[in-house]
Structure 1
């Protein structure tokens, strides 16, 4: 956990509809949100563990609908890239390093992308 993550997520919330899309599911709000000092976020329910990371794609697609979307994750599968490339709506995938997680650079990239829309 980086103490800055809560600040960064709060910055993103001012621009985006930020949603947890993690195997933590609702535990993200119960365990992570208080540690980060953020309000609970909507949760995109994931299947029970273990699941293949590509199983996130249809769920993210339903959430994004026909809106521009930024998806920050530590594992974008080939299916995620195909989905992003095939959408008519602007779509940005930001892949983080699993050992590092969310970085200031990723947040700045997402915020700059929103301005450019």
Structure 2
């Protein structure tokens, strides 16, 4: 069986808001590579992420979600459901494969829509844009990707996932929200 996919945004996730690409360290790439997932860029940077970001953090070239312009009907449905502009295309790109998606703009509307339209497991993980990925975010992703989060779905999880995941990066516990890399 294939490892789950991990869709990564750049701005506000890999690259905290206000940071410059030159500020990134390669330990971020090592930490991402150590996750039990197949990494995929899901960013408006598209292929530029492989040119500008991946080498700075020590990642190889990754697959890229190439965004297409939505149809008028898709735009209307997405507006009706208050979906992020990436949601529908990420589900299409995954083709039923389990995935986690780390983004700073996702909401419960995206979680709910994915739960109804994606047959596999999915974790929709909100990252605080000013911090980017933190140690707590990596722990949440790691546990979910290993399948450990499913046992917690009925317990302490706080609504950040679909399909049996847990952990919401929107909590206010600053002590556990240290940036993983700057």
Which bin holds the TM-score, normalised by the shorter protein? 0.7 to 0.9
Total equivalences in the alignment:
112
Higher helix share: 1
Deviations 1:14-64 (A, max 9, x none): x1121000011110000001111110111112358xxx9722012101122
Among residues 24, 46, 64, which one is paired with 2:45 in the alignment?
24
Higher-Rg structure is 2
Q: 2:123 aligns with which of 92, 98, 102?
A: 92
| Residue of structure 2 aligned with 1:109, choices 126, 133, 140 | 140
Q: Which residue of 1 aligns with 2:90?
A: 60
**Matched residue, 2:29:** 6
The CA deviation at 1:116 is 2.3
Cα RMSD (Å) of the superposition?
2.2
Partner residue of 1:45? Answer: 66
Q: If the length of structure 2 is used for normalisation, what is the TM-score?
A: 0.55
Work out which structure has the larger RCO, using CA pairs closer than 8 Å and 6 or more positions apart in sequence. 2
- Alpha carbons 1:71, 1:93 under 8 Å: kept: yes
Task: Kindly report structure 1 stretches of 4+ aligned residues shifted beyond 3 Å.
Answer: none
TM-score, normalised with respect to structure 1: 0.82
User: Which SS does the other structure have where 1:35 is aligned?
Assistant: helix
